[in-house]
C-alpha cells in the first residue's frame, strides 16, 4: 500500500506546526487536516503538486510503500525504492545544532558549490 508520509519531510524542513504551515500555503483547513492525519486515501494531483512546491521535493519524497506482509517481492521491485528506511528519520535541525562551527562552514560551502554547479 502506498501512503502519503509527510511527517519526515516536515521534520527535515523544521516545520513544527504542519497544519498551520499548510493552511498558510493555500490549503483549506479540511484538506490540511486530511493530509496531516493520513486518513485520506484519494489525493488530488494539484495537492501533490502544491506539496512538492512548498516542501521543495518530488512526489516520490512524499510517498512510502508498505508492502503486503504475505506477498514476496523481488529486491529490484520498483516500489521498493519507496520503502521507509531507518535512515529516513533524518533530523537535520538536530544534526546541525550538534555540529561544530567548522563543520557547518564546510557544509555551507558544499551546498553553495552544489547549487552553483547546477
Q: The domain that contains 27 carries what CATH number?
A: 1.10.260
In a domain, 118, yes or no: no
Residue 96 has pLDDT above 80, yes or no: no
| 67 neighbors 79 (Cβ within 8 angstroms) | yes
The mean pLDDT value of the chain amounts to 86
| 60 neighbors 82 (Cβ within 8 angstroms) | yes
pLDDT for residue 39: 76
In a domain, 35, yes or no: yes
pLDDT for residue 86: 47
pTM for the whole structure: 0.71
The mean pLDDT of 16-26, rounded to a whole number, is 96
In a domain, 95, yes or no: no
Domain that holds residue 12: 2-83
In a domain, 100, yes or no: no
User: Which of 57, 60, 1, 55 lies closest to 27 in space, CA to CA?
Assistant: 55
In a domain, 40, yes or no: yes
* Strand runs labelled E in 5-113: 63-65
In a domain, 67, yes or no: yes
Phi–psi pair at 67, nearest 5 degrees:
-65, 150
The mean pLDDT of 16-32, rounded to a whole number, is 96
Number of domains within the chain: 1
In a domain, 98, yes or no: no
In a domain, 45, yes or no: yes
User: pLDDT tens for residues 42-85?
Assistant: 889 999 999 999 999 999 999 888 888 778 888 888 888 787 75
Residue 88 has pLDDT above 80, yes or no: no
pLDDT for residue 12: 84
Amino acid at each position: 500500500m502506498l501512503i502519503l508520509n509527510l511527517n519526515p519531510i516536515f521534520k527535515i524542513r523544521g516545520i513544527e506546526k504542519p497544519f498551520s504551515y499548510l493552511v498558510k500555503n493555500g490549503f483549506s483547513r479540511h484538506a490540511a487536516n486530511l493530509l496531516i492525519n493520513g486518513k485520506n486515501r484519494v489525493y488530488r494531483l494539484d495537492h501533490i503538486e502544491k506539496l512538492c512546491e512548498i516542501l521543495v521535493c518530488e512526489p516520490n519524497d512524499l510517498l512510502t510503500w508498505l508492502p503486503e506482509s504475505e506477498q514476496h517481492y523481488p529486491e529490484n521491485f520498483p516500489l521498493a525504492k519507496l520503502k521507509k528506511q531507518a535512515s529516513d528519520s533524518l533530523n537535520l535541525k538536530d544534526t546541525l545544532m550538534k555540529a561544530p562551527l567548522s563543520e557547518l562552514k564546510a557544509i555551507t560551502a558544499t551546498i553553495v558549490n552544489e547549487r552553483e554547479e547546477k
